[in-house]
Amino acid sequence: MRGLRTHHAGGAGRGRGPVKPFAYQVPGDAAAAVRTVADDTTAVFLAGGTNLVDHLKLGIVAPELVVDITHLTSDEITDNAGGLRIGAAVRNSDLAADRRVRERYPTLAQALLAGASGQLRNMATTGGNPLQRTRCVYFQDVSTPCNKRIPGSGCSAIGGSTRGMAVLGASEHCIATHPSDMAVALAALAAQVRVLGPAGERTVPFVELHRLPGEYPERDTVLEHGELVLGIDLPDLPMARNSCYRKVRDRASYAFALVSVAAALDIEDGVVRDARVAFGGVAHKPWRAYRAEDALRGVTASEDAFRAAAEAELADARPQPGVDGGNAFKIPLLTRTLVATLRDLSRKE
């Protein structure tokens, strides 16, 4: 171990009181970090800290030990079997600026640039961004019941302010949405997540990384406590060169998506040979739109076909009523957003 010291954090988060003091540790390598966190249920990893620090200030989390992994995983982007291997410590700003990403996976570069301010992108990491908490305004407010913060306490969002809530895959226990733009693009690209745990390394398909809330909304991902993301692999996917990310939000700067679409399209002689589609802002996890993809393959590229694909994917969508008018608007909004995205891609092709 490089050292262990106690950090007595001061200050208050929106009047909630001072941050609870915690121990701060910098292990010598990733394996040591994994062992340390796995052996302590009160321990958490720290990299960029853009989500964790907010939640410390708000009193949402109160770890007794913070394990700094900033320099324990790779910060390099390397070619890998026709695709790219992205180290977990690669900053979002560096990933978005990489020429290989911009040329071969433009949907990812665009999603990263749509995701946050430049200051946050300079801190946020490849490993941390997708693991930010699925959340809503009630999760952020510790004075309200929230099943994600305190399982079994209730979901304040149901029947409350639901404008930004889920229309796909929600449950009676949670209707929050996952906020990451980057994660939507990674879902569309069929990325793979490399993970290190106490039992060794394993690979998790990105589309399987996040969970729907079900009866256990406090669990956002399939990762076990103490498992550490080492990096993310992008596959060799030629059609990803013809891809893009479109985000619809209430304001043009630094807002979570009301709806978003990451898509890639492969067209030959006006016919869709293949498609990749994922949605953001509408579910507890980045939503891979398999039904839409199936509906697109083999059809003539047209707005009617694109609209039919959206309708197929959204057939099971369930809008949430709320004191603010609810979020039924998300269904036609997402339909129009997908149609516009695919139309633009078909013209480029």
Evaluate if residue 31 carries a pLDDT over 50.
yes
Using the predicted structure, report yes or no on whether residue 117 has a pLDDT greater than 80.
yes
Residue 64 within a domain: yes
Q: Which residue has the tokens 């906020």?
A: 179
Residue that is last in its domain, among 49, 70, 91:
70
d(CA 332, CA 349): 26
Structure tokens at 52: 């964790």
171 falls within a domain:
no
For the residues 192-211, what does the mean pLDDT come to? Answer: 98
Residues 208-261: tens digit of each pLDDT = 999 999 999 999 999 999 999 999 999 999 999 999 999 999 988 789 999 999
**181-188 helix and 106-115 helix, angle to the nearest 10 degrees:** 170
pLDDT (0 to 100) of residue 349? 65
Strands ordered across the beta sheet of 271-280: 243-248, 259-268, 271-280, 287-288
Number of domains in the chain: 2
In whole numbers, what is the pLDDT of the chain averaged over residues? 94
Task: Report the alpha-carbon angle 199-235-186, nearest 5.
Answer: 80
Q: Of 37, 70, 103, which one is at a domain's C-terminal end?
A: 70
Does 160 have pLDDT greater than 50?
yes
Q: CB neighbours of 260 closer than 8 A, spacing ≥ 6?
A: 111, 114, 181, 184, 245, 246, 247, 248, 279, 280, 281, 337
Domain ends where: 31, 46, 70?
70
Work out the average pLDDT over 121-144. 96
Share of the chain above pLDDT 70, in %: 95
Q: Are 54 and 76 in contact (CB under 8 A)?
A: no
Domain extent, residue 303, equals 239-348
Task: Provide, for the chain, the percentages of residues in helix, strand and coil under a 3-state DSSP scheme, each rounded to the nearest 5.
Answer: 30, 25, 45
Q: 291-308: per-residue pLDDT in tens?
A: 999 999 999 999 999 999
Rounded distance between C-alpha atoms, residue 75 and residue 174, angstroms: 35
| Assigned domain for 101 exists | no
Binning pLDDT at 50, 70 and 90, where does residue 13 land? very low
**Type of residue numbered 81:** A
Q: Is 44 helix (H, G, I), strand (E, B) or coil?
A: strand
pTM, two decimal places: 0.94
CATH for 33: 3.30.43.10
Which pLDDT band holds residue 18 (cuts at 50, 70, 90)?
confident
Taking residues 305-313, what's their average pLDDT? 98
